[in-house]
Amino acid sequence: MKRNPKIPLIHNMSFMNTAERRIEIDTVFSRIESFLKQEPHATYNLIIGTDGHVHRGFTKMITGIIIRRESKGAWACYRQVIIPREITSVRDKLSTETSLSEEVACYFDEQKRGQLEDILLPYVYHGAALDHFIHIDAGRDKSVSKTALYVSEMVDRVESLGWLPVIKPDSFGASSYADRFSKSSKIPFII
Protein backbone atom coordinates (compact mmCIF):
# COMPACT_ATOMS: atom_id res chain seq x y z
CA MET A 1 0.00 0.00 0.00
CA LYS A 2 1.48 3.34 -1.06
CA ARG A 3 0.97 6.20 1.36
CA ASN A 4 1.64 9.90 0.90
CA PRO A 5 2.09 11.52 4.34
CA LYS A 6 2.40 15.04 2.87
CA ILE A 7 -1.28 15.20 1.91
CA PRO A 8 -3.45 16.25 4.86
CA LEU A 9 -6.65 14.43 5.61
CA ILE A 10 -9.66 16.59 4.82
CA HIS A 11 -12.63 15.16 6.61
CA ASN A 12 -15.20 17.72 7.57
CA MET A 13 -18.62 18.85 6.48
CA SER A 14 -17.51 21.78 4.35
CA PHE A 15 -18.83 21.71 0.79
CA MET A 16 -18.30 23.66 -2.41
CA ASN A 17 -19.74 24.00 -5.88
CA THR A 18 -18.69 25.79 -9.03
CA ALA A 19 -19.74 29.16 -7.59
CA GLU A 20 -18.76 28.91 -3.91
CA ARG A 21 -16.23 27.39 -1.54
CA ARG A 22 -16.51 26.44 2.12
CA ILE A 23 -20.27 25.98 2.35
CA GLU A 24 -20.96 24.53 5.79
CA ILE A 25 -23.49 21.71 6.05
CA ASP A 26 -26.05 23.91 7.85
CA THR A 27 -25.82 26.40 4.96
CA VAL A 28 -26.27 23.52 2.50
CA PHE A 29 -29.47 22.63 4.35
CA SER A 30 -30.67 26.26 4.16
CA ARG A 31 -29.96 26.34 0.42
CA ILE A 32 -32.01 23.16 -0.03
CA GLU A 33 -34.88 24.70 1.95
CA SER A 34 -34.74 27.82 -0.23
CA PHE A 35 -34.73 25.71 -3.38
CA LEU A 36 -37.86 23.85 -2.22
CA LYS A 37 -39.62 27.09 -1.31
CA GLN A 38 -39.15 28.41 -4.86
CA GLU A 39 -41.62 25.80 -6.17
CA PRO A 40 -43.19 23.95 -3.23
CA HIS A 41 -45.72 22.16 -5.44
CA ALA A 42 -43.00 20.25 -7.38
CA THR A 43 -41.53 16.78 -6.98
CA TYR A 44 -38.00 16.66 -5.57
CA ASN A 45 -35.22 14.12 -5.16
CA LEU A 46 -32.57 14.60 -2.48
CA ILE A 47 -29.57 12.66 -3.75
CA ILE A 48 -26.27 11.87 -2.06
CA GLY A 49 -23.52 10.05 -3.94
CA THR A 50 -19.79 9.49 -3.60
CA ASP A 51 -17.13 8.58 -6.11
CA GLY A 52 -13.46 8.00 -5.48
CA HIS A 53 -10.46 8.08 -7.73
CA VAL A 54 -7.04 6.69 -6.87
CA HIS A 55 -4.16 9.06 -7.58
CA ARG A 56 -0.47 8.59 -6.93
CA GLY A 57 -0.09 8.50 -3.14
CA PHE A 58 -3.71 9.25 -2.23
CA THR A 59 -7.34 8.53 -2.96
CA LYS A 60 -9.67 11.46 -3.58
CA MET A 61 -13.29 10.94 -2.54
CA ILE A 62 -16.01 13.36 -3.64
CA THR A 63 -19.45 13.28 -2.03
CA GLY A 64 -22.15 15.22 -3.82
CA ILE A 65 -25.46 16.49 -2.49
CA ILE A 66 -28.02 17.20 -5.19
CA ILE A 67 -31.53 18.54 -4.73
CA ARG A 68 -33.27 17.87 -8.02
CA ARG A 69 -36.59 19.36 -9.03
CA GLU A 70 -37.96 16.86 -11.52
CA SER A 71 -37.75 18.30 -15.03
CA LYS A 72 -37.01 21.78 -13.67
CA GLY A 73 -33.42 22.07 -12.48
CA ALA A 74 -31.23 21.28 -9.53
CA TRP A 75 -28.86 22.73 -6.96
CA ALA A 76 -25.76 20.78 -6.01
CA CYS A 77 -22.57 20.92 -4.00
CA TYR A 78 -19.82 18.53 -3.05
CA ARG A 79 -17.15 17.90 -0.48
CA GLN A 80 -13.86 16.15 -0.86
CA VAL A 81 -12.14 13.76 1.49
CA ILE A 82 -8.52 12.92 0.84
CA ILE A 83 -7.38 9.52 2.05
CA PRO A 84 -3.57 9.68 2.19
CA ARG A 85 -3.08 6.25 0.62
CA GLU A 86 -3.99 4.49 -2.58
CA ILE A 87 -7.10 2.35 -2.01
CA THR A 88 -6.55 -0.50 -4.45
CA SER A 89 -9.16 -2.97 -3.19
CA VAL A 90 -12.45 -2.62 -5.08
CA ARG A 91 -14.43 -3.62 -1.98
CA ASP A 92 -12.58 -1.18 0.29
CA LYS A 93 -13.03 1.68 -2.17
CA LEU A 94 -16.75 0.97 -2.65
CA SER A 95 -17.26 0.55 1.09
CA THR A 96 -15.49 3.84 1.80
CA GLU A 97 -17.57 5.62 -0.85
CA THR A 98 -20.75 4.21 0.68
CA SER A 99 -19.62 5.16 4.21
CA LEU A 100 -18.99 8.76 3.17
CA SER A 101 -22.44 8.97 1.57
CA GLU A 102 -23.97 7.47 4.72
CA GLU A 103 -22.13 10.00 6.88
CA VAL A 104 -23.66 12.91 4.96
CA ALA A 105 -27.07 11.18 4.90
CA CYS A 106 -26.98 10.95 8.71
CA TYR A 107 -26.99 14.75 8.85
CA PHE A 108 -30.35 14.63 7.07
CA ASP A 109 -31.97 12.79 9.94
CA GLU A 110 -35.69 12.36 10.45
CA GLN A 111 -36.02 15.86 11.93
CA LYS A 112 -34.20 17.56 9.02
CA ARG A 113 -36.12 15.57 6.42
CA GLY A 114 -39.31 16.47 8.29
CA GLN A 115 -38.45 20.17 8.01
CA LEU A 116 -38.05 19.78 4.25
CA GLU A 117 -41.27 17.78 3.95
CA ASP A 118 -43.14 20.47 5.93
CA ILE A 119 -42.36 22.96 3.14
CA LEU A 120 -44.08 20.68 0.63
CA LEU A 121 -46.88 19.35 2.83
CA PRO A 122 -49.51 22.01 1.91
CA TYR A 123 -49.00 21.07 -1.76
CA VAL A 124 -48.93 17.28 -1.47
CA TYR A 125 -52.31 16.93 -3.21
CA HIS A 126 -50.97 19.03 -6.07
CA GLY A 127 -48.06 16.65 -6.72
CA ALA A 128 -45.47 17.87 -4.22
CA ALA A 129 -43.14 15.13 -3.00
CA LEU A 130 -39.64 14.59 -1.66
CA ASP A 131 -37.76 11.31 -1.97
CA HIS A 132 -34.25 10.73 -0.67
CA PHE A 133 -31.69 8.53 -2.38
CA ILE A 134 -28.11 7.41 -1.95
CA HIS A 135 -26.49 6.75 -5.30
CA ILE A 136 -23.99 3.90 -5.14
CA ASP A 137 -21.16 3.80 -7.67
CA ALA A 138 -21.68 0.09 -8.39
CA GLY A 139 -23.56 -2.08 -10.83
CA ARG A 140 -24.91 -5.63 -10.87
CA ASP A 141 -23.59 -6.65 -14.30
CA LYS A 142 -20.59 -8.87 -13.51
CA SER A 143 -19.35 -8.69 -17.10
CA VAL A 144 -19.01 -4.90 -16.88
CA SER A 145 -18.49 -4.04 -13.21
CA LYS A 146 -15.90 -5.23 -10.70
CA THR A 147 -18.23 -3.94 -8.00
CA ALA A 148 -21.06 -6.39 -8.77
CA LEU A 149 -20.02 -8.76 -5.97
CA TYR A 150 -20.59 -6.06 -3.36
CA VAL A 151 -23.79 -4.41 -4.56
CA SER A 152 -26.13 -6.31 -2.23
CA GLU A 153 -24.02 -5.43 0.81
CA MET A 154 -23.99 -1.71 -0.05
CA VAL A 155 -27.71 -1.68 -0.88
CA ASP A 156 -28.48 -3.29 2.50
CA ARG A 157 -26.39 -0.66 4.29
CA VAL A 158 -28.22 2.20 2.57
CA GLU A 159 -31.64 0.67 3.20
CA SER A 160 -30.78 0.22 6.89
CA LEU A 161 -30.54 4.03 7.11
CA GLY A 162 -34.01 4.44 5.62
CA TRP A 163 -32.71 5.84 2.33
CA LEU A 164 -33.47 4.49 -1.13
CA PRO A 165 -30.39 2.98 -2.84
CA VAL A 166 -29.77 3.55 -6.55
CA ILE A 167 -27.10 1.65 -8.49
CA LYS A 168 -25.60 1.94 -11.96
CA PRO A 169 -26.65 2.79 -14.58
CA ASP A 170 -29.04 5.13 -12.72
CA SER A 171 -26.69 6.34 -9.96
CA PHE A 172 -25.71 9.61 -11.65
CA GLY A 173 -25.09 11.34 -8.31
CA ALA A 174 -22.04 9.14 -7.84
CA SER A 175 -21.12 8.01 -11.33
CA SER A 176 -21.50 11.40 -13.05
CA TYR A 177 -21.66 14.34 -10.63
CA ALA A 178 -19.12 13.19 -8.02
CA ASP A 179 -17.02 11.41 -10.64
CA ARG A 180 -16.51 14.67 -12.50
CA PHE A 181 -14.67 16.19 -9.52
CA SER A 182 -12.81 13.10 -8.29
CA LYS A 183 -10.66 12.57 -11.39
CA SER A 184 -8.52 15.67 -11.01
CA SER A 185 -5.39 15.10 -8.94
CA LYS A 186 -5.56 18.73 -7.83
CA ILE A 187 -6.79 19.37 -4.33
CA PRO A 188 -9.08 22.44 -4.54
CA PHE A 189 -8.72 23.62 -0.96
CA ILE A 190 -7.04 22.68 2.27
CA ILE A 191 -8.58 23.61 5.60
What is the reported pLDDT for 8? 45
How big is the CA angle at 171 (ends 165 and 173), to the nearest 5 degrees? Answer: 105
pLDDT confidence bin for 9, thresholds 50/70/90: very low
Given a contact cutoff of 8 angstroms between Cβ atoms, the answer to whether 163 and 60 are in contact is no
Model confidence at 11, pLDDT cuts 50, 70, 90, reads: low
Does residue 187 sit within a domain?
Answer: no
Indicate the pTM of the whole model: 0.89
Mean pLDDT throughout 115-126? 98
Report yes or no on 114 lying in a domain: yes
Residue 60 forms part of a structural domain: yes
- Please indicate, yes or no, if residue 108 is contained in any of the structural domains: yes
In a domain, 103, yes or no: yes
Q: What is the rounded average pLDDT for all residues in the chain?
A: 90
Q: For residue 189, is it within any domain?
A: no
Q: Which domain holds residue 112?
A: 14-182
Q: Which of 32, 113, 11, 117 is nearest to 76 (CA)?
A: 32
187, 81 in Cβ contact below 8 A?
no
- CATH classification at residue 111: 3.30.420
Asked if residue 92 belongs to a domain, the reply is: yes
As a whole number of angstroms, the distance between CA 134 and CA 104 comes to 10
Per-residue pLDDT of 14-39, as tens digits, reads: 999 999 999 999 999 999 999 999 99
Number of domains in the chain: 1
> Tell me, what's the pLDDT at 129?
98
